[in-house]
Amino acid sequence: MPYEKLEISTPKPVLSWANHSLGADETKMAKNVASLPFVFKHVALMPDVHLGKGALVGSVVATKEAIVPAAVGVDVGCGMCAIKTPFTASQLEGKLKQIRLDIEAAIPVGFHENKETDKTVLNWQGWREFKDLHSGVQRLETKAMKQMGSLGGGNHFLEVCVDAEEQVWLMLHSGSRNIGNMLAQNHIGSAKELAKLADNRLPDPDLAYFIAGTPEFAAYWHDLQWAQGYARFNRDVMMARFKRVVEKHLAGGKPTKALLSVNCHHNYAEKELHFGEEVYVTRKGAVRARSEDYGIIPGSMGAKSFIVKGKGNAESYCSCSHGAGRTMSRNKAKLQFSLDDLIQQTDGVECRKDAGVLDEIPAAYKSIEQVMANQSDLVEVVATLKQVVCVKG
């Protein structure tokens, strides 16, 4: 399905790949962003678009000579990692429960962190730059080290999946933990201070921005790129441990070679070339999908997930959706559904089925199949995955 040009009166057009119309709050948010003077060409909305803070989750905002830190958000570098293993579904038989318990033992989830920092984590080159980070986060170095290789909470998860050819995949969703959050919050605060001092007229205080060439922009950009690197390596560390757990059960502990590896951000900003111009591209709940890019689009805990390859669609700034997108808030989901609903909707998945994850119930999300149909001009499907084990943060 191609995009629809939304009838929102702003200086810049808003192109939407969603097949649903936006609510009043969502329309206002799209309009606010599209009215910023430094927005490039147009704003692109992915098919899973929904309300966020400052900017819509599932939006791609390209900007010239400026950036909006709140549009990137606080979970800097949040994204997905997946590997295709040489194992097949039949090898998993009778082992799911033990695999799940071993994943939980190997990777701290929720508010837990690593007790010790192993060599792989200590050798990360990013620690050498830690002293150069801004906004006085140096006291958080020990915590950042212990959180490297930990999942976090919310909708962060680890899954063992099986594709249509019965091949086993490992997949996980996580970000830059507390350190990325702290850096982002500090810079968002600094942008708001600057806006107040300059008496900027903003459609939303969360759209305070930094201008390229200023020290504040440079400081934010530096910390942003660092946090994105932290998030990517965090996923690599967890995936290595995850792979070892599965190898222990399926290969007698022998190391195996992944048949395909993907590690993509869906909450980040990058300098890119679009329509012949260098721009800052903020993907807030969106994945880069140039023709050579692999991406991961997860469904909810009872639904399918997709490994995709980009089609390099220029109008979308070479992007695609980051998931199914919520249809209702976490609070509403908790009120509307029961534990029985959750048990029914996650049938066949080895996972938690308690009140603590009720807000992640599949029915609180859009249909991933519909979302995929809406972006057939943005990505092609490489593999369709169904989870058999799901560990929630």
Which are the catalytic amino acids?
Answer: 322
The 3 state secondary structure assigned to 46-106 is: EEEEECCCCCCEEEEEEECCEECHHHHCCCCCCEEEEEEEEEEHHHHCCCHHHHHHHHHHH
Which residues between 166 and 185 bind DNA (CB under 7 A)? 175, 177-178, 181
Shortest distance (Å) from residue 376 CB to DNA: 26
Q: Which residue of 71, 78, 121, 183 would you call a contact of DNA, by CB under 7 A?
A: 78
Using a 10 angstrom Cβ sphere, with 0-12 exposed, 13-18 middle and 19 or more buried, the burial of residue 262 is buried
Which residues between 179 and 238 bind DNA (CB under 7 A)? 181
Nearest to 305 by CA among 259, 239, 349, 243: 349
Nearest to 30 by CA among 1, 47, 54: 54
Closer to DNA by CB, 37 or 205: give it. 205
Site string for DNA, 131-160 (x = CB under 7 A): ---------x--x---x----xxxxx----
Shortest distance (Å) from residue 146 CB to DNA: 10
CB under 7 A: which stretch of 26-34, 42-50, 73-81, 215-223 binds DNA? 73-81
Closer to DNA by CB, 75 or 163: give it. 75
Inter-CA distances, 160 with 88, 106, 171, 246, 349, Å: 11, 15, 6, 9, 10
Other Cβ atoms closer than 10 A to 136? 9
Q: Please give the backbone phi and psi of residue 129, each rounded to the nearest 5 degrees, phi first.
A: -95, 0
Other Cβ atoms closer than 10 A to 189? 14
Shortest distance (Å) from residue 150 CB to DNA: 8
Q: Which residue of 23, 25, 111, 275 would you call a contact of DNA, by CB under 7 A?
A: 111
Which residues between 366 and 385 bind DNA (CB under 7 A)? none
Contact 42, 36 (CB under 8 A): no
Shortest distance (Å) from residue 92 CB to DNA: 27
Closer to DNA by CB, 188 or 379: give it. 188
Contact 311, 380 (CB under 8 A): yes
Query: Is the torsion defined by CA of 161, 293, 124, 176 positive or negative?
Result: negative
Q: Please give the backbone phi and psi of residue 74, each rounded to the nearest 5 degrees, phi first.
A: -95, -25
Closer to DNA by CB, 186 or 313: give it. 186
305 belongs to the binding site for DNA (CB under 7 A)? no
393 belongs to the binding site for DNA (CB under 7 A)? yes
Shortest distance (Å) from residue 306 CB to DNA: 19
Closer to DNA by CB, 16 or 176: give it. 176
Closer to DNA by CB, 146 or 353: give it. 146
In this structure, are strands 286-288 and 210-211 parallel, antiparallel, or unpaired? Answer: unpaired
CB under 7 A: which stretch of 5-13, 71-79, 257-265, 367-375 binds DNA? 71-79
Q: Which residue of 75, 204, 315, 350 would you call a contact of DNA, by CB under 7 A?
A: 75
HSE-up of 326 (CA within 13 Å, CB side)? 16
114 belongs to the binding site for DNA (CB under 7 A)? no
Other Cβ atoms closer than 10 A to 197? 8
Closer to DNA by CB, 155 or 263: give it. 155
Rounded Cα distance between 192 and 266, Å, is: 24
CB under 7 A: which stretch of 32-40, 70-78, 115-123, 309-317 binds DNA? 70-78
Shortest distance (Å) from residue 111 CB to DNA: 4
Residues that bind DNA (CB under 7 A): 74-75, 78, 110-111, 140, 143, 147, 152-156, 175, 177-178, 181, 393
